[in-house]
Amino acid sequence: MSKIAIYLNFQGNADDAFHFYKTVFGTEFSAPIMRIKDLPSDPNGPKFSESDLNCVMHVALPITGGTEIMGTDMLESMGHKLVVGNNTTISLQLDSKEEADKMYQALSEGASDQEPMRDEFWGYWGCCLDKFGIRWMFNVMNENYNN
């Protein structure tokens, strides 16, 4: 079943923020926190510093009314810089690649900062900053991946 999540970016303090939110909402993480060091090995992928390896790759926490917040640490070593405007994303978790492609195509019309839909280890993914400056993420999760 499709659902919507709010995706938050942090500059190295996602772990602290989500542990704080966990106490505020009195809920448990949807899945264990995934760190950069937990990524599948890729000899062609980027080389991460020791401090980057402990940064949060992905975390998910249910809050209220069926809403979930998710988050990640942006890595300065990868050229990521947190600024107001790139710290919040509406994440659409969709049921099929066809549905994701349709939504991506519509919302990316006139968009900037696009990441085309593609297969990733967790599922089918893409992202864009729409023509109104709202960031959208599209995910169709693999069956063997939980959040």
Per-residue pLDDT tens digits for 21-64:
999 889 999 999 999 999 888 888 888 888 899 999 999 999 87
Q: Indicate the helix (H) or strand (E) that contains 139.
A: strand 135-141
pLDDT at 85: 66
* Average pLDDT value for residue range 80-95: 81
* pTM more than 0.75: no
Q: Indicate the helix (H) or strand (E) that contains 107.
A: helix 97-107
Q: How far apart are CA 83 and CA 74, in angstroms?
A: 11
pLDDT at 63: 87
pLDDT at 28: 96
Domains in the chain (CATH in brackets) are 3-141 (3.10.180.10)
Judged by DSSP in three states, 135 sits in strand
Lowest mean pLDDT segment, chosen from 67-71, 76-80, 85-89 = 85-89
Q: How far apart are CA 73 and CA 58, in angstroms?
A: 8
CA 61 from centre of chain = 12
30 burial via Cβ count (<10 Å: 0-12, 13-18, 19+): middle
Percentage with pLDDT > 90 across the chain: 48
Distances (CA, A) of 95 to 92, 102, 113: 10, 12, 24
Lowest mean pLDDT segment, chosen from 7-11, 27-31, 63-67 = 63-67
pLDDT at 128 over 60: yes
